[in-house]
Amino acid sequence: MRVTSNLMNTQALNDIQNVLRRYGKLNEQLTTGKKVRYPSDNATVAARVSDLDSRIREVQRYKSNISLARSYTDMYDSSLQEMSSIYQRVKELSVRGANDSLSDEDRQAIVTEIDKINDHMKSLANSQVSGKYIYGGAESDKAPVDKNGEIQTSPKANIKKSVSVGGYKVDYGLTVYDVFTTNSGTSVFKHLDRMKDAIASGNNNAIDREMGAIEDIQRSALKGLAEVGGNDRLLELSESRMEDFEQFNTEFLSKESDADLAKVLTDLSMQQVVMQSALKTTAKIIPPTLVDFL
């Protein structure tokens, strides 16, 4: 087979080009730290990396949704605790007010305190955070209860706030209908008014009746607390699950996309050896011809 010097040159050059190309690719991995920089480097890995990136962003979004929701459940929790202790106080006052031997002054004192308590309940119902009424349902711009104790939130706005976590919704909101009405649909503010009137007039039967209602409301406050606690626990679990997701996905992403530096460095040094020997032999390959010997 005929071999010309051009031929040897071309072949040697091609081989050096190949080595250089491999070298270049490894170098790129080293400097960027990534195995795959463009989709054409490796289409399946690139698509997976893109998916993982997107999923991690999604999980981070869910995490911030959850922390917002938990800030609300904290608020609900603290106002419900306060209400529970208020009802306790109301019961004490009612028991005292049912005492026939109470003087007018004492009676008046109890009535005044219950009035104040009612006002306090109304302001609790009208709690705001960042200018939004937290018990207002969809109508967060309207005070749920007016100064006369009438509930102003329309029934169509009685919608629980929810948060989206991993594709499903978790309801965590409470509205004035949930917390400030009894099982029979009467509002706590009216009950406190009636209790006040009953004590003022000394109507023990009425006091008894209203006491029943107050106990009813206290029970639903406790039920509300339990519900809020349950929601918070659910959110907490979801939060830690999202943390886990984020961690798994980040690990997976790193495994897929990050260059294994140890491997790259080893390969690189091997390619360097190959390149050096290629260059050396190429130098020798430019052979002497007959010319040198004639």
Write out the binding residues for another protein, residues 16-75 only, by CB under 8 A.
38-44, 46-47, 49-51, 53-54, 57-58, 61-62, 64-65, 68-69
Query: Of residues 1, 262, 273, 283, which one binds another protein by CB under 8 A?
Result: 1
Nearer to another protein, 51 or 251 (CB): 51
Task: Return the residues of window 188-217 that contact another protein according to CB under 8 A.
Answer: 190-191, 194, 206, 209-210, 212-213, 216
Taking the complex as a whole, the smallest distance from the CB of residue 292 to another protein amounts, in Å, to: 10
The answer to whether residues 49 and 257 touch, using CB atoms and an 8 Å cutoff, is yes
Alpha-carbon span 31 to 47, nearest angstrom: 22
Taking the complex as a whole, the smallest distance from the CB of residue 24 to another protein amounts, in Å, to: 13
Query: Of residues 94, 118, 126, 181, which one binds another protein by CB under 8 A?
Result: 181
Nearer to another protein, 6 or 103 (CB): 6
- Mark residues 70-109: x for contact with another protein by CB under 8 A, - for none: ----------------------------------------
Alpha-carbon span 226 to 70, nearest angstrom: 15
Nearer to another protein, 209 or 241 (CB): 209
Q: For the chain, how many residues are written?
A: 294
- For residue 284, state whether it binds another protein (rule: CB under 8 A): no
Task: Return the residues of window 214-243 that contact another protein according to CB under 8 A.
Answer: 216
The residues pairing with 171 across neighbouring beta strands, listed in sequence order, are 162
Alpha-carbon span 245 to 182, nearest angstrom: 42
- For residue 118, state whether it binds another protein (rule: CB under 8 A): no
Neighbours of 23 (CB within 10 A): 16
Looking at this protein, which amino acid is placed at residue 286? I
Alpha-carbon span 268 to 275, nearest angstrom: 10
- For residue 119, state whether it binds another protein (rule: CB under 8 A): no
Encoded tokens for 147: 């100064």
Alpha-carbon span 199 to 183, nearest angstrom: 24
* Tally of CA atoms within 13 A in the half-sphere of 184 that contains its CB: 9
Taking the complex as a whole, the smallest distance from the CB of residue 105 to another protein amounts, in Å, to: 26
- For residue 136, state whether it binds another protein (rule: CB under 8 A): yes
Taking the complex as a whole, the smallest distance from the CB of residue 103 to another protein amounts, in Å, to: 25
Alpha-carbon span 79 to 37, nearest angstrom: 53
Alpha-carbon span 102 to 96, nearest angstrom: 8
- For residue 187, state whether it binds another protein (rule: CB under 8 A): yes
- For residue 11, state whether it binds another protein (rule: CB under 8 A): yes
Task: Return the residues of window 243-262 that contact another protein according to CB under 8 A.
Answer: 257
Integer CA distances (angstroms), 165 to 234, 235, 236, 288, in order: 11, 9, 11, 76
Taking the complex as a whole, the smallest distance from the CB of residue 191 to another protein amounts, in Å, to: 7
Q: How many residues interact with another protein (rule CB under 8 A)? A: 75
